[in-house]
């Protein structure tokens, strides 16, 4: 798993052996079981997550119903807004699959960034990429129909269709599970 991480980091900065050893010494690699809730609504946290293997999701519980807002899979990161704002979380973070996660905290990140300034550069570049991607995804979501959202999902993240329960996928697309079933059937008919 370390090599997967180092390959990812090398897209942004090159690491010395000392820097690699510093990362390994942080005890940030965690195996987490499917169904584990990493963060609950109302909790405070300093933890950020980077998915090496598996899938995590963020969701709100509104009127007793889960509303999925995002899925994070391999080589994607999540720093919950409550970490940045230092407030209780407004949503949940849970594991959709068994995961191998890097779990860091703000204190650890500050320490490593002060020792190795290039990590801060890497994090900034990665954050800029994430922000741009999220903006594009949000704009596409707001300006598209449920069918277009599903087709975009099939094009950009086809793995989610196999990895995520249908009710979570439907929630993520902003529709009911029955509507997703009808949508899939309609698309299959069009192909025939």
Q: How far apart are CA 163 and CA 82, in angstroms?
A: 27
Tokens of 62: 């509104």
Read off the pTM: 0.89
Mean pLDDT of 86-108: 95
Name beta bridge partners: 66: 61
In degrees and rounded to multiples of 5, residue 123 shows phi and psi of: -65, -40
**pLDDT one-digit tens code per residue, 17-47:** 988 888 888 888 999 999 999 999 999 999 9
Asked if 11 contacts 120 with a C-beta cutoff of 8 angstroms, the reply is no
Q: How far apart are CA 71 and CA 57, in angstroms?
A: 4
Domain layout of the chain by residue ranges: 2-143
Predicted pLDDT at 2: 81
2-143 is classed in which CATH architecture? Answer: Sandwich (2.60)
CB atoms < 10 A from the CB of 34, how many?
12
**Residue 112: band (very low, low, confident or very high) from pLDDT cuts 50, 70, 90:** confident
**pLDDT one-digit tens code per residue, 61-96:** 999 999 999 999 999 999 999 999 999 999 999 999
Q: If we measure between CA atoms, which residue out of 40, 42, 35 comes closest to residue 56?
A: 35
């Amino acid at each position: 798993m370390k090599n997967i991480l180092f390959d990812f980091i090398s897209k942004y900065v090159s690491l010395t052996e000392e820097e690699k050893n510093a990362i390994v010494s942080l005890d940030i690699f965690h195996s987490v079981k499917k169904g584990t809730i990493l963060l609950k609504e109302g909790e405070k946290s300093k933890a950020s997550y980077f998915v090496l293997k598996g899938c995590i999701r963020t969701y709100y519980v509104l009127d007793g119903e889960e509303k999925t807002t995002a899925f994070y899979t391999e080589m994607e990161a999540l720093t919950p807004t409550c970490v940045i704002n230092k407030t209780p979380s407004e949503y949940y973070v849970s594991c959709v699959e068994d995961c191998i996660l890097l779990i860091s905290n703000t204190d650890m990140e500050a320490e490593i960034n002060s020792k190795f300034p290039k990590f801060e550069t890497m994090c900034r570049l990665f954050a800029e990429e994430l922000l741009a991607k999220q903006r594009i995804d949000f704009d596409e979501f707001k300006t598209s129909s449920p069918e277009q959202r599903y087709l975009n999902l099939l094009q950009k993240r086809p793995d989610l269709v196999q990895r995520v329960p249908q009710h979570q996928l439907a929630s993520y697309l902003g529709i009911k599970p029955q509507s997703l079933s009808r949508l899939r059937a309609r698309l299959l008919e069009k192909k025939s």
